[in-house]
Structure formats: structure tokens, C-alpha cells
Amino acid sequence: QVHLVQSGAEVKKPGASVKVSCKASGYTFTNYAMHWVRQAPGQRLEWMGWINVGNGNTKYSQKFQGRVTITRDTTASTAYMELSSLRSEDTTIYYCARGRGSNCFACAFDIWGQGTVVTVSS
């Protein structure tokens, strides 16, 4: 079965960085892109960025440009999302999601991780 399992909840101080991992199983990791989406309580989903897992190319939402870095480790079938210069507004749930299609940038997301809660508090 296809699964994405994310790392556990994090508590960070303002100005710090957080790195969330997303381990894939049940499919060929390098054939599918990974996207990162976040969702504040009661708010709409917000796309943050994308990585072509095959070649490592990335694109980021302009909102997070300069603060977010998405990487992958193909040997570990794991993608990572690092967000820096954290502020209170970054307190939310972060999801990884597989693109439905071969390393697609513009696509629907067919498999999601369980979500990682990041809390930013002094």
C-alpha cells in the first residue's frame, strides 16, 4: 500500500527553523513529485512548494520564497520541507502530498501524509 508518513509534532521559538520529513513507501519514490501544503485551523489549504523527486528541481509559492526549502533523499525515499525565520503565523499543520502524475508540478494530490503540527511560541 502507498503511504506517506511524516515526522512528529514540533515546538519552535520565533526566528528558528523547522524541518519536517515525509517518508514514502509502496511506490517508486523517484517517479512522483512531492508537494507541501499547510492548513491553519479552520482555514483553507495553502500550497507551499514542490519538488520533482526525480531530478530535484523545486518551485515555491511566492509567499514562502526565501524561507522554504524542499529537498529529498532518494536513498531513504524521504522528502523534507524546511521553513526558516518562523513566526507565530506559521503555527499550523503541514502536509506532504504526492502529485497524481509523473513528477507533475501542476496536478491533483492523490496521497497525503498524516500531517505535522508545528507550533511557534516564545
Supply the minimum distance, in Å, between the C-beta of residue 101 and another protein: 9
Q: Is there binding between residue 46 and another protein (CB under 8 A)?
A: yes
Between residue 71 and residue 110, which ones bind another protein under the rule CB under 8 A?
95, 97, 100, 106-110
Question: Residues 4, 63, 52, 112: what is their CA dihedral angle, to the nearest 10 degrees?
Answer: 20
Give whichever of 6 and 78 is closer to another protein, judged by the CB atom. 6
b/e 34-67 (16+ beta carbons within 10 angstroms → b): bbbbbeeeeeeeeebbbbbbbeeebebeeebeeb
Q: Give the residue, chosen from 9, 40, 45, 76, that forms a contact with another protein under the rule CB under 8 A.
A: 45
Supply the minimum distance, in Å, between the C-beta of residue 122 and another protein: 27
Q: Which amino acid makes up residue 28?
A: T
Cell 521559538 appears where? 13
Query: Which residues would be at the binding site for another protein (CB under 8 A)?
Result: 35, 44-47, 59, 61, 95, 97, 100, 106-110, 112-115
